[in-house]
Structure 1
């Protein structure tokens, strides 16, 4: 019989946990595990941003050719809105693709961070065991993608609704991205302990304020040039610190679980 109750979680915001990640990635013993996902992030993100900006520029060049001169002022309004919308959308869309490639390394980084913070090894096995576990790890990424895609489609369709949709859609997309960023990065330490995706979402929903503030901070930092290259390892470290503080003991004692 599981219990559903309010737990005495530490009163620390998701913003603080994310910022803690900047300190953790520099800690001795973690740098090697940070380097691989960092390089994957750097190379792929730079390429995607380069292509996206080029496509955006081509779109505005075409649009300017269609507009009469007296509407040229729309450029000053639409460019910032288009760039902001593109960055918010790419922040998660790109991260989803990237995390498929980096998932085994991300889980390993989360494991090492937890070991550093608790002083206790997780005993998750050898490198051979990690390779054997790849189907399950990628299957977990597929579960997250199935959760994300239909919801993302609904929010993206709002962009096609004249006036109201174009005003509300960027805000709603940002909030949805914040929730998904929290799910994406918190999932690694949860998955290391074989906590199901459903139970993980329930736990994050129990601490909704922390979850959203963490995800929103990840999303905002993902939109900052240069800084966005290190967001992935920072977010993994911060999410693992949040797991250790808020969920680790609760799951050990079976104090938090869906009914």
Structure 2
């Protein structure tokens, strides 16, 4: 067997997934090397996070009532069919709400804390070398582009959420599949949002982002799923948010480099 061919073989999907998690770990290291910069990035996450945490607590308190409200057809059913249906409805509501809440939290936090997160993104780019040239672009133009991408991503996220809600009513399978699918899809949409800085700075659109990250789907999901899960930990988003911006920048650069090598194999 040719050892050179063996060594050139790409790692398996599991290793790629774990490697994707490594981007967030590398982002967390900036808390040690650049604590002041990361603390600035944590402030918007703290402010927005307090609002979202309050809303989610209220949602959790009323989850049982909400599950009953959306399943009036089960009022006259006997247990355990009635109870099972409402447990499924509650599971679906919880998964969909968390999916939309995490994505919306990131979108709102990135918008409100744009100057801080742009500094983190730029610092990572400069440390890694070959940073994109700064373009003197009017604020309204970049804001309009960012809002447009955010709206499209939110629409996709909401559509996926409705699909998950429907799947949740499949007995046994629904209650198992919905939380897992929620984490996978939530991680994907989360990564699309967080990688906006690096791709936008290079004049690339949302469809380019989806294509290039999709070519490295396992590592993209590894980063996104870990970030998504840690965002669900109380106060986790405050610590993770600036690290996620840094990690997403590293992931973006590798995705861009991989796409460049595939487009120009002679130069790789």
What RMSD, in angstroms, separates the aligned Cα atoms of the two structures? 4.0
Q: What is aligned with 2:219?
A: 210
Q: What is aligned with 2:57?
A: 53
2:236 paired with 1:227: yes
2:26 paired with 1:24: no
Q: Distance in 2 between matches of 1:168 and 1:91?
A: 19
Q: Distance in 2 between matches of 1:53 and 1:82?
A: 17
Could you tell me whether the CA contact under 8 Å between 2:212 and 2:259 is conserved in 1? Answer: no
2:154 paired with 1:145: yes
Q: Distance in 2 between matches of 1:198 and 1:7?
A: 28
Offset at residue 254 of structure 1 (A): 4.1
Q: What is aligned with 1:106?
A: 117
Using CA pairs under 8 Å that are at least 6 residues apart, name the structure with larger relative contact order, 1 or 2.
1
2:194 paired with 1:185: yes
Which residues of structure 2 form unaligned runs of 5+?
1-7, 69-74
SS in 1 for 2:33: coil
Offset at residue 238 of structure 1 (A): 0.6
2:48 paired with 1:39: no
TM-score by length of 1: 0.73
Closer/same/farther in 2, CA of residues 121 and 15 from structure 1, 3 Å limit: closer
Q: How many residues align?
A: 241
TM-score by length of 2: 0.71
Q: Distance in 2 between matches of 1:216 and 1:242?
A: 14
Offset at residue 243 of structure 1 (A): 2.3
Q: Distance in 2 between matches of 1:236 and 1:105?
A: 10
Which residues of structure 1 form unaligned runs of 5+?
1-5
